[in-house]
Structure 1
Amino acid sequence: MDSWVRFSAQSQAKERVFRAAQYACTLLGYTLQKNGASPDFLARIKQLEAHLSLGRKLFRLGNSADALEAAKRAIHLSDMVLRFCITVSHLNRAMYFACDNILWAGKSGLVPRVDQEKWSQRSFRYYLFALIMNLSRDAYEIRLLTEREANGKCQKGGGGARDDARPPAEDGRLQQLALRLRRQLRLLACVLRSNPPLLLDLVKNACDLFIPLDRLGLYKTSAGFVGLCGLTSSVLSILAFVHPWLKLKP
């Protein structure tokens, strides 16, 4: 199992490169269509995008085992909230990869009778649940860090002390609310700036969220926006592979 997990990790890095190329094609095709490119050229872009998508699914064969192993490790975390969010996220990823493997078998012609639309919808539902758990985990970690830094360490030199010391004009409730919001935003910005792995994970998950929302019809956007979100999250994932310290732990 350990050797398979190591092999799967290498495949995941290659899959992210294919993913970046696929969503780059999505964004390029949308841009060219808006600028009046020829239908023949657009068809070639679509065909390349489909080939990249099929190649990605090949690299994801067996990733369910890796996700299940990650869930087994996460279930032993001491923090109850992290244990729940990370374990459920990995279990949903395992189901997502399993549905994706079935889709690959259908698209490659190995199992021609596969209902591709049904399994695609199932896979995106599991993908959406996994992303919701990932974002919940990010929000929880941000809350822990902001509470830890609430003593003002992050705000030194940022003008926060001067704002706190100066009473709001006419003691208005709106001014008090604005000052409180400004302090919270300053603290949030400082926490994210001092924790690049958390910031990268938050942006990546937020970008990825629009993909299943669009494919499931819950929040329709454009192909260009989906392509931009997918390309951005793919580049951020590649950065985490190239620089392992950027990967959020545990």
Structure 2
Amino acid sequence: MNLYFLVEGKRTENKVYPAWLKHLLPELQQVKNFDEVDKNNFYLFSANGYPSIIYDHLPNAILDIQENGKYNYLVLCLDAEENTVSEIKQEIYDFLKREKPDMDNIEMVIIIQNRCLETWFLGNRKIYTRNPQDKPLLEYTRYYDVSIDCPELMGQYQNFNTHAKFHEAYLKELFRVKNIYYSKRNPGDVVKQFYLQQLIDRIKSENTHLPTFQTFIEFCSLIRLKLLQ
């Protein structure tokens, strides 16, 4: 089983996904170059954001996979940002339909981070401070309580240009009051198994929460079953 991951960002995704895959699929070993895969490997390439991940790097990834011939899946991971999940998927499908790359023997899985990875990270109820007293966390919580409601449905708070920037700021404030540091370059605790398990526990207890994170977990569960066969 070999997986080719094409992810949008160069800072957070290339740290979080390998760490999470180590917890979820310990049988898979990461390789540095796409042509080094043999058996039970994964390769991860970080694109330079959107839209280049679709229009530049996706065709290159398809060529890599066709050239190598050993990959079972191409996993495309990117943020929804200000679009809907369906809009991003449609953009990908429209591009493939228009360009008609050779997709023979390539099974592609699309993972949309709605709105961004930080939105998923907000699903950990253990990082939430009950009855926060300090601003801006108090204001953020009054606007939307991510410990109760699905983080993926949270809107765009005032003074933020995008949903993603607000979600990142909310996460940083939750961490700050617990004296935990987070940045895109140094995501800290979110890469650890206990943090990932809290997100999994969230979707098990609330099966309508974090639906795009559920897509990632369901894919990993499928791969795990195939590895055990």
Judging by fraction of residues, say which structure has more strand: 2
Shorter chain as denominator, the TM-score bin is under 0.3
User: TM-score, with normalisation over the residues of structure 2?
Assistant: 0.26
Higher helix residue share:
1
